[in-house]
C-alpha cells in the first residue's frame, strides 16, 4: 500500500491522555479553579505545536531541530524524517508548524526555521525561512519539501528569528521575522528584519499586499517596526490578526495587526536598554505620530511567547480573552478586554513555575501549553476545569 495515499483520518489516536485528577495540581482563577494536567513529556525545547484532524499533535523541537508526534499521551520515539536542516544557534532552530488549510485533502504542512546564510561580510550567518512538504504518517516522513520563503534578514547574530505562522480565512500565510538583533533595521522595509509578511500558499506575493510596487519596500511585508515576534493568532470572532512580541527589559506588546502599519520599534517602546543603568532606547519615546500603539504592554517584561484568543466552551468565562505565554515570567497571562478598550491581566500558572513557550486551543476546547525546557524535560500541559472529569 502507498502510505502517502492513506487518508489522515485512518490513523487513529488522541493527543490527550492526561494525568489523573488525583495527580494533577489545582489552582484558583477568576473563572473558578482549574487543573493542570500533563498530556505528554520527554520533549527538548519544544517551540510550536499543531493538532492533527485525527486527534494527534505535531510538536517542533527547536534544538535539535526535530518534528515529533504525540498520540494518546505518548511521545513517539521516532522523529519525522525529511525536515529541513536548521541552523540551531542561539534562539534559532526548528520553530513553528502549521497545517495547510486543506490538509485533510493534501496532507501538506508548513515549517518555519533558521537556516544558514552568508552575510555581506562573507561570514556564516543565519536567517528565517519557511518550507512546506507532504506529511506521510505511514512512513513518518516529510516528502516533497520545498523552501518557499527565505527572509532577507541574514546576520551573524543568534536572536530574534521570529517566526510564527498562521493562515487566514482566505488562505494567505502570515510569517513573522524578528529584527535579528539589529534594532534600527526594523524601520528599514527594504529588508525583512522586524516584519510581518503575507504570502500565497506557495510563497508567491499576493498582488494586493500594501507595499507591492513601492520602491524601498519588500513586497511581502504586511506590517513592520516589530522587534521579536513570538505569538500570532487570528481572532475567532473579528478575524483580525493579533501578535505578541518581546520588548527589552519591559515593553512586551500585544498588538492588533493592520495592513501597511508601522508598529514603532525602536522609535517608540515601553522598554529600556539592558543593564542596570536602564538607559532609554533612542529618544525614550513611547508614542509618536504614525506609529501604532500596542493594545496592551507589560512592564516589567514577562517575555511573551505563544498566543491564542479563546472561544471554547470549556471555560465560558474566558471566551474572548487572549492567552499569552510567559517565558521569563513563568506564567500564562489572560488578557481581558473591556468595552471601553481598556485591558486587565490575570496571571495563571504563576505557582507552577515553568516557562511557557506556546499556547493553543485544542479542538476539544481545552487550553494546551508547551513548557520551554531542555534535556527531554519539557511537557505538553492541558488546562481543565477542576470539576471536569478525566
C-alpha grid cell, residue 20: 489523573
DSSP string, 249-277: SS-EEEEEE-TT-B--TTTB-S---SSTT
Residues of the chain scoring pLDDT < 50: 1-14, 20-22, 389-390
Determine the pLDDT at residue 19.
Answer: 53
CA 233 distance to own-chain centroid:
8
Dihedrals φ, ψ of 266, to 5°? Answer: -100, 20
Closest CA relative to residue 158, chosen from 121, 125, 123, 112: 125
What pLDDT sits at residue 3? 33
Residue 8: is it exposed, middle or buried by C-beta count within 10 angstroms (0-12/13-18/19+)? middle
Domain boundaries of the chain, sorted by first residue: 3-305
Helical H segments across the chain, by residue range: 103-106
Find the distance separating the first CA and the last CA of the chain, reported in whole Å.
Answer: 37
Q: Are 270 and 250 in contact, with CB atoms under 8 Å apart?
A: yes
CB neighbour list of residue 100: distance below 8 Å, 6 or more residues apart: 106, 108, 109, 110, 132, 167, 201
Give the predicted TM-score (pTM) of the model. Answer: 0.93
Do 326 and 300 meet the contact criterion of CB atoms below 8 Å apart? no
Q: Report in angstroms the alpha-carbon separations of 189 from 111, 160, 193, 287, 315.
A: 24, 16, 8, 20, 41
State the DSSP code for 125. E
The partner residues of 59 in beta bridges, in order of sequence, read 49, 68
Q: Which candidate in 160, 192, 246, 296 is catalytic?
A: 160
Grid coordinates representing 293 are 500603539
How many residues would you count in the chain?
390
* 160 classed as catalytic: yes
Query: Do residues 42 and 376 make contact, with C-beta atoms less than 8 angstroms apart?
Result: yes
Tell me what pLDDT residue 283 has.
93
- Where does residue 52 rank: exposed (0-12), middle (13-18), buried (19+ CB within 10 A)? buried
Helix, strand, coil percentages for the chain (3-state, nearest 5):
5, 40, 55
Cell of 18: 492526561
Q: What is the pLDDT of residues 353-384, one digit of tens each?
A: 999 999 999 999 999 999 999 999 999 999 99
Cα separation, 331 vs 189, whole angstroms = 34
Helical spans, DSSP H, in 236-377: none
* CATH class name, domain 3-305: mainly beta
Q: Burial level of 361, CB count in 10 A (0-12/13-18/19+)?
A: buried
pLDDT at 144: 98
- Per-residue CA distances from 310 to 11, 49, 280, 378 (Å): 28, 16, 35, 24
Q: CB of 38 within 8 A of CB of 79? A: no
Q: CA geometry: angle at 67 spanning 66 and 69, to 5°?
A: 135
> What tens digit of pLDDT does each residue of 203-251 get?
999 999 999 999 999 999 999 999 999 999 999 999 999 999 999 999 9
Amino acid at each position: 500500500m502507498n502510505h502517502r495515499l492513506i487518508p489522515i483520518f485512518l490513523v487513529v489516536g488522541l493527543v490527550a491522555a492526561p494525568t489523573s485528577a488525583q495527580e494533577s495540581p489545582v489552582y484558583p482563577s477568576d473563572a473558578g479553579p482549574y487543573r493542570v494536567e500533563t498530556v505528554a513529556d520527554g520533549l527538548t525545547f519544544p517551540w510550536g505545536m499543531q493538532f492533527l484532524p485525527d486527534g494527534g499533535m505535531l510538536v517542533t523541537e527547536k534544538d535539535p531541530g526535530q518534528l515529533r508526534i504525540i498520540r494518546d499521551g505518548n511521545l513517539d520515539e521516532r522523529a519525522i524524517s525529511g525536515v529541513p536542516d536548521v541552523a540551531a544557534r542561539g534562539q534559532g532552530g526548528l520553530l513553528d508548524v502549521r497545517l495547510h488549510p486543506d490538509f485533510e485533502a493534501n496532507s501538506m504542512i508548513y515549517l518555519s526555521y533558521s537556516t544558514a546564510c552568508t552575510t555581506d561580510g562573507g561570514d556564516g550567518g543565519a536567517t528565517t525561512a519557511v518550507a512546506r512538504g507532504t506529511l506521510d504518517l505511514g512512513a513518518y516522513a516529510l516528502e516533497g519539501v520545498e523552501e518557499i520563503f527565505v527572509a532577507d534578514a541574514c546576520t551573524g547574530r543568534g536572536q530574534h528569528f521570529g517566526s510564527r505562522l498562521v493562515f487566514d480565512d482566505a488562505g494567505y500565510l502570515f510569517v513573522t521575522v524578528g529584527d535579528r538583533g539589529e534594532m534600527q533595521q526594523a524601520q528599514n522595509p527594504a529588508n525583512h528584519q522586524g516584519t510581518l509578511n503575507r504570502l500565497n500558499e506557495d510563497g508567491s506575493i499576493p498582488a494586493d499586499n500594501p507595499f507591492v510596487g513601492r520602491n524601498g519596500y519588500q513586497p511581502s511585508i504586511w506590517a513592520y517596526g516589530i522587534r521579536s515576534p513570538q505569538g500570532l493568532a487570528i481572532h475567532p470572532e473579528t478575524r483580525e490578526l493579533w501578535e505578541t512580541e518581546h520588548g527589552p527589559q519591559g515593553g512586551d506588546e500585544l498588538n492588533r495587526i493592520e495592513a501597511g502599519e508601522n508598529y514603532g520599534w525602536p522609535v517608540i517602546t515601553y522598554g529600556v536598554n539592558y543593564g542596570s543603568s536602564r538607559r532609554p532606547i533612542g529618544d525614550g519615546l513611547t508614542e509618536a505620530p504614525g506609529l501604532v500603539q500596542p493594545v496592551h504592554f507589560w512592564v516589567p517584561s514577562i517575555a511573551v511567547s505563544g498566543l491564542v484568543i479563546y472561544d471554547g466552551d470549556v471555560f465560558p468565562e474566558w471566551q474572548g480573552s487572549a492567552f499569552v505565554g510567559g517565558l521569563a515570567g513563568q506564567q500564562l497571562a489572560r488578557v481581558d478586554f473591556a468595552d471601553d478598550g481598556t485591558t486587565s491581566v490575570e496571571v495563571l500558572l504563576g505557582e507552577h513555575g515553568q516557562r511557557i513557550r506556546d499556547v493553543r486551543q485544542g479542538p476539544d476546547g481545552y487550553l494546551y501549553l508547551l513548557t520551554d525546557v531542555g534535556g527531554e524535560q519539557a511537557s505538553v500541559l492541558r488546562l481543565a476545569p477542576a470539576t471536569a472529569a478525566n
